[in-house]
Amino acid sequence: MKPTLSTREACGLTLMNMGSQENIVVLNADLSGSTQTSKFANKYPDRFFNVGCAEQNLVGTAAGLAISGKITFASSFAMFLMRAWEQIRNTVAHDNLNVKLLGSHSGLTDSKDGGSHQCLEDIALMRCLPNMSILSPVDAIETEQLITNEISRNGPAYIRLNRISTPTINDNEYKSTFGKSVKLVEGDDITLIATGTMVSKAIQASEILKSKNISAQVINIHTIKPIDKNAIIKCAKDTGHIITIEEHNIYGGLGSSISEILSENYPVIMKIMGVNDRFGESGEYNHLIQKFCLTHNDIVKNAETLTRGNNEHLQT
């Protein structure tokens, strides 16, 4: 798994490459360089609108463009888009508008900027909005496909992107399908369900677990909403143990979503791995991942504990 483009860079390139479609417009709130929407801006300046540091107006203006039939991408850091949550709710989601929100620098990936810039709450905030879809691509290839699909799919979406370069998980043959999970590793004893940056760590963990005679299957969730319910129930039935891993608060995110499905359909003991209900802080990205117990070794430890039925020793 060699590191390649970050998902924000892949997004910027995709928008630039798809920009010849004349009804695409892109908006940004004074972060076009960081979010990579500057690539579109340079090629199609007439269809790029910088609204300045004004996220509420970013979302409202995007809504107006979408009402007029434009395929509208509105971009900022994930954290600052959440400042306009009420505008996203009352205008974009309520009216089911064709606005695609691009939340860059999500999770802990804006590591050195610290807690004010890191976003560990966005999945929770977007998940409770009717009409809103949530996409969380794992690598550059998947980012390109999901964004290209969003251009032709009508309706609001929140697309969760990262600052750091991300290992390439998929090959050029790969085809993503909106709303469908992807099984990356086969296994019988436990299922590791991950999204975004945590998928590569789940794959690493599965390799180590294999050497310990624990067969772990790995599922990539690129569409967090609508979630692939049937596939998740099947994972629980097939392996009996579930670990979810996300760069997000343990409350309200991918893990919550999966536990909601399983508790109603096929309850199994699961472990929700994420940031344990706290804010982020400044530091090297890998340091933060270690500090918040989100390394592949942390996944291995939790998987060992779960499969041995020794649930009291799950890491908190």
Which residue in 4, 17, 56, 282 binds another protein (CB under 8 A)?
Answer: 56
C-beta separation of 228 from 180 below 8 A? yes
Question: Residue 152: left (phi > 0), alpha (psi -120 to 50), or beta?
Answer: alpha
* Dist. CA 155–CA 66, nearest whole Å: 10
Is residue 231 close enough to count as binding another protein by CB under 8 A? no
Residue from 45, 46, 152, 213 in contact with another protein (CB under 8 A) = 46
The answer for residues whose C-beta is within 8 angstroms of residue 289's C-beta and 6 or more apart is 108, 295
Among 86, 186, 238, 260, binds another protein (CB under 8 A): 86
Q: How far is the CB of 152 from another protein (least distance, A)?
A: 19
Using the rule CB under 8 A, is 52 a contact of another protein?
yes
Strand 223-225 relative to strand 133-135, pairing: antiparallel
Q: CA–CA separation, 271 vs 178, rounded Å?
A: 26
151 binds another protein (CB under 8 A): no
Structure tokens at 302: 């939790």
Q: Decide: 255 and 272 in contact? Cβ < 8 Å.
A: yes
Among 45, 69, 130, 309, binds another protein (CB under 8 A): 69
**Site for another protein contains 61 (CB under 8 A):** yes
**Sole binder of another protein in the list 43, 94, 180, 291 (CB under 8 A):** 94
Token pair in block for residue 124: 């929770």
* Distance of alpha carbon 76 from alpha carbon 31, whole angstroms: 6
Contact range with another protein by CB under 8 A, out of 55-63, 233-241, 268-276, 298-306? 55-63
Q: Tell me the C-alpha distance between 180 and 226, whole Å.
A: 9
Stretch that binds another protein, among 85-93, 144-152, 268-276, 289-297 (CB under 8 A): 85-93
Nearer to another protein, 58 or 198 (CB): 58
From candidates 10, 11, 41, 51, binder to another protein by CB under 8 A: 51
Q: Phi-psi bin for 141: left (phi > 0), alpha (psi -120 to 50), beta?
A: alpha
* Stretch of residues binding another protein (CB under 8 A), selected from 89-97, 231-239, 240-248, 278-286: 89-97
CB of 129 to another protein, least distance (A): 14
As annotated, the active-site residues are 55
Query: Which of 60, 137, 252, 280: binder of another protein (CB under 8 A)?
Result: 60
Give the residue with the Cβ less far from another protein, 59 or 193: 59
Nearer to another protein, 94 or 153 (CB): 94
Q: How many positions of this chain bind another protein (CB under 8 A)?
A: 28
Alpha helices in 139-253 (DSSP H): 140-152, 198-211, 229-239
Enclosing H/E stretch for 103: strand 99-104
Residues that bind another protein (CB under 8 A): 25, 46-47, 49, 51-52, 54, 56-57, 59-70, 72, 86-87, 90-91, 94-95
